[in-house]
Structure 1
Amino acid sequence: MKSDIPYDRMVDMGLRREDPNRKALMYARCVLGLACVATLLLAALMLQSLLFPGLSPSHPAPNPRPSLPLTETCSDPCQIVLLESIPEGLEFNSSVAHPSIYQAWLDLIGGARSSLDIASFYWTLTNKDTSTSDPSASQGEDILKKLSEVSGKLSVRIAVNTPQQRQPHDDLELLKSSGANIRMVNMKELTSGVLHTKFWVVDKKHIYIGSANMDWRSLTQVKELGAVVYNCSCLAADLGKIFEAYWFLGQSGEPIPSPWPSSFSTPYNKDTPLQLPLNNTPSRVYLSSSPPSFCAAGRTPDIQSILSVMEDAQQFIYVAVMNYLPTMEFSYPKRYWADIDTQLRRMAYERRVKVRLLVSCWVSTQPVMLSFLRSLASLASVEDPKRKLDIEVRLFVVPATAKQKEIPFARVNHNKYMVTDKVAYIGTSNWSGDYFVHTAGSALVINQTTSESSESTVQAQLKAVFERDWYSSYSTDISQHSNHKTFC
């Protein structure tokens, strides 16, 4: 490090070379200097006692801005509810059921008093985009109507991926004309990905996060899973920071900050989760985000969150996703990306953890995905009984009538969650490399292992959803199908 004192001045001060009398001189100066400092401190203390008699060693000055420890707890009466959209015609022989995403959205809009922030991929809540005139679009149309009504009364902000030319703009134009503030995030320019996240922050104290897009099909024609957390300002504030990052990047010409300003940082992550009561049960919670370039200081990137949840599992790992590909499926040239796949294989082989994958099969399923899934499932057929691995892969098919098949991009299990014996993970991303490297997504991670209330833990509820789907008539072992086109 350069000195602030020029070299010629150092010579003048006698510091260029050793002097026989230099050490004694310096010692004397040091003693004299310490005496002066002590005298000044004593004088300052005496002056303080005269001018401010209330401040003394027995009455220290108050700290107006105490620092918050990383293990800060939240005392809000947070209530979490799992939500689902069950496509019309999909019926389970099971008592496992949860409130609908549609009803939760209605309640959030109706209960909003000051603000509503929505981060979304795209908007098509009416049936104009499909021209099918399907009556099941009524729920989406109802949500759009309610949002337009509150847009002129509350602060409504929408961060949305910059729409492509072929995507409808009608919903956004309606909301904008009703008073909503809308910013389009040009993810293609920023990261070559998309804004794929799906969450709401209401009145800075309620949140929704899950797989459902702002699409009428997500309410009646696509199987979805999400969660709503009520009366939880501490968690809402942290999710609000992720929204503010999108909002900032929605300004024209704004690059991705590196590093992000401290106002976007968080103390809550996989190592220091937020301690809060969920449904009267002590819980450890944090929010992860992708891509890594969108993560301010302290934020756990989404891929690290997934790998960490798997790493902590001791008994089982259950995964339900629409797409599972150990590749960068939207990148050119094609690249292999095995972070998640390797972790699953490692956990099954080294830890003997039970692994179950429930993956969607529909008209848009890529054949290569089934090849990768068969490779993973084949590990269970190891001949050595001492090394036999407990891995199973099943495909989930949402049935469709002839009329329902006419609806594009519908009739699919769109879930994006994972549950282990310790943690519940509810995300917004499909499981291939692009979603974690280039695309904006988010996830809610909950450790609520022991329940102190009559209500089961979030992990237990999510496990019940998985097992209902796994053992249903809509799920079959991947080994039973060689041609996905005839099956899906």
Structure 2
Amino acid sequence: MTFRPLLLTFATAWCLGIPQSALAQPGSEPPAPATRLVQSIPAETDLADPALPFAKDVWVDLVRGARTSIDAAEFYVTSRPGSALEPVLVELEKAGARGVKVRFLLSSKMLDQDPASVARLRHIPGAQVRSFDLAGVSRGILHAKYFVVDGQVAFLGSQNFDWRALEHIHELGVRTSDARIVTRLAQLFAVDWTFAGTGKLPDLPTPAPVSARPQVELVASPPFLTPKDIRPSIEALVELIAQAKQTVRVQLLTYSPVAGQDRFWPVLDDALRAAAVRGVKVRLLVSDWVLGGRALPHLKALALIPNLEVKVAPIPEAKEGHIPYARTIHSKYLVVDETHLVLGTSNWEESYFTDSRNIELIFRDSPLAAQAARIHDRLWTSRYAFALDPAKVYEKRKVD
């Protein structure tokens, strides 16, 4: 490498915020990508993507590498002896013992899921655990799932802090050292940590308007708890679907335009229908948790629209027998034209966008989108997925 190209490389890295130590030197391995997709796959299935790491390994690696701090926001925690979450909890205990500052936010409505594991978090040396309770301001919950390590690297995805999410559920997340994401996640954690401690909504000043959409963007819900320079997730989702020219792929646990007891919430329904009407090929893949639910007639209606296909993906029971709240698809992502990816923590129902803390990451013109499209196609064409029949009566699936 000559002096001039080397100088340009370092200059480019400085502009992007990439440390010079991460640059490949002559004869060395190229640096790892700043952001990677991370999968969880139900055991005893053939749905794993051979190119992607598993969350159970990535989590252990991230916690083991912590030197100063681990900030985690999780819907809940639940483990069992010998499960894939046990090594993660062990590494958290080791991190606390070596002086790493550990802070955990947990949803107040889910603390009773596994009191022993909650107590285990509280007993990590020096750890702080706070309950996140929105009851005073909305009907929502803390539904985001992420952690930030040393203020330098983070994980966000559909995986709850649950042994089942690592072993028996189809999930998708990202491991990232991209400062544009990590800084935003740390900012949101600070807001939520303070709210959990005081119960008071933060003062959120209005920032200067931004004219262009960034290539990497963090969006969030609910608006009343989110800094004003972070866009609402629902706004970003509708905008991206409206920009689709060829294909839209969606994978979710649940989808529903029914809000509350008696209201119709057509925001995302209208966006998908409009895309299909203008000729975009729309594929909506949902879990079998929707069978027997109030949204099922609306999903059947979507399946009647030209260019709009709806499939349901049941995952067979494990050999050990029924596992409550498992053996399902739980990933939450949107791929537009195989170039743009939105990956996050929201099911597509109104309350996730208006009442609860959720986070989505947008990657525009990114190779991650093609990877996510490949994951969607693998499940879409697998033996686990079937086309929703508008004329068929379905039995409700046993969940708990």
TM-score range, shorter chain: 0.7 to 0.9
State the match for 1:356 in structure 2.
283
User: Superposed, which structure 2 residues align to 1:248-267 within 5 Å?
Assistant: 248-252=194-198, 254-257=199-202, 259-260=203-204
Q: Distance in 2 between matches of 1:215 and 1:190?
A: 27
Deviation at 1:315, TM superposition (A): 0.9
Q: Map residues 58-97 of structure 1 onto 2, 5 A cutoff.
A: 74-76=16-18, 79-92=34-47, 97=51
Equivalent AA in structure 2 for residue 367 of structure 1: G
Contact 1:266–1:297 under 8 Å retained in 2:
no
1:116 maps to what in 2? 70
- The aligned residue for residue 96 of structure 2 is 151
| Contact 1:238–1:266 (Cα < 8 Å) also in 2 | no
Please, which of 269, 275, 278 is the counterpart of residue 341 of structure 1? 269
Match of 1:204 among 119, 136, 151: 151
Which residue number corresponds to residue 217 of structure 2?
Answer: 286
2:358 to 400, 422, 441: 441
C-alpha change, 1:74 and 1:365, in structure 2 (3 Å) is farther
Q: Which amino acid aligns with 1:346?
A: A
Q: Distance in 2 between the 1:73 and 1:459 partners?
A: 24
Q: State the secondary structure of the residue aligned to 1:188.
A: coil
Change in Cα spacing, 1:221 to 1:481, as seen in structure 2 (3 Å) is farther
Q: Does 1:372 align with 2:298?
A: yes
Which of 77, 101, 105 in structure 1 is aligned with 2:55? 101
Q: Does 1:162 align with 2:111?
A: no
Question: How far apart in 2 are the matches of 1:461 and 1:481?
Answer: 34
Q: Deviations over 1:322-351 (max 9, x none)?
A: 1000022xx3x43211100011111211x3
TM-score, with structure 2 as normaliser: 0.86
Aligned pair in 2 of structure 1 residues 126, 273: CA closer, same or farther (>3 Å)?
farther
Shift of 1:87: 0.9
Q: 1:293/1:163 Cα in 2 relative to 1: closer, same or farther (>3 Å)?
A: same
SS at match of 1:429: coil
Work out whether 1:415 is the aligned partner of 2:359: no
Q: 1:189 aligns with which of 136, 139, 150?
A: 136
Compared CA separation, residues 89 and 317, structure 1 to 2 (3 A)? same
Partner SS for 2:315: coil
Q: Indicate yes or no: 2:391 matched with 1:463.
A: no
Structure 2: state its 5+ residue gaps.
1-13, 23-32
> Partners of 1:165 and 1:122 in 2: how far apart?
7
Find the aligned partners of 2:197 and 2:88 in 1 and give their Cα distance: 27
CA offset digits 1:293-325 (Å, max 9, x no partner) = 122121110111111111221111100001000
CA distance in 2, matches of 1:481, 1:168: 41
Q: In 2, Cα distance between the equivalents of 1:142 and 1:168? A: 17
Between the aligned partners of 2:218 and 2:315, the Cα distance in structure 1 is 30
- Aligned counterparts of 2:170 and 2:138: Cα–Cα separation in 1: 29
Q: Which residue of 2 aligns with 1:51?
A: none
Rounded to whole Å, the distance in 2 between the matches of 1:486 and 1:192 is: 26
Whole-angstrom distance in 2 between the partners of 1:296 and 1:119: 17
3-state DSSP class of the match of 1:469? helix
Whole-angstrom distance in 1 between the partners of 2:107 and 2:45: 31
1:241 to 172, 181, 187: 187
C-alpha distance 486-183 of structure 1, shift in aligned 2 (>3 A) = closer
Counterpart for residue 479 of structure 1: 389
Q: Tell me the distance in 1 between the aligned counterparts of 2:150 and 2:111.
A: 33
Give the aligned CA root-mean-square deviation in angstroms.
2.3
What do residues 108-151 of structure 1 show as CA deviations (whole Å, max 9, x unaligned)?
A: 01111111111111111236xxxxxxxxx521122112112212
CA deviation vs aligned residue, 1:1-41 (integer Å, no higher than 9, x gap) = xxxxxxxxxxxxxxxxxxxxxxxxxxxxxxxxxxxxxxxxx
TM-score with structure 1 setting the length: 0.71
C-alpha distance 486-244 of structure 1, shift in aligned 2 (>3 A)? closer
AA of the residue aligned to 2:184: D
Distance 1:273 1:338 in 2: 25
Q: Are the aligned partners of 2:171 and 2:329 in contact in 1 as well (CA < 8 Å)?
A: yes
Identical pairs, percent: 30
1:481 and 1:487 in contact (8 A); partners too: no
- What letter is aligned with 2:108? T
Name the CA distance, whole Å, in 2 between partners of 1:95 and 1:206. 23
Shift of 1:352: 1.4
Distance 2:194 2:49 in 1: 44
Contact map agreement 1:125 1:143 (CA 8 A) in 2: no
Contact in 2 for aligned 1:96/1:468 (Cα 8 Å):
no
Q: What is the SS of the residue equivalent to 2:304?
A: helix
Alignment correspondent of 2:242: 311
1:174 maps to: 120
Structure 2 residue identity aligned to 1:426: L
Between the aligned partners of 1:298 and 1:273, the Cα distance in structure 2 is: 12
Q: Distance in 2 between matches of 1:164 and 1:209?
A: 19
- Tell me which residue corresponds to 1:13: none
Deviations 1:145-182 (A, max 9, x none): 21122123201111111145743222222222222111
* In structure 1, C-alpha distance between the alignment counterparts of 2:115 and 2:397, rounded to whole Å: 35
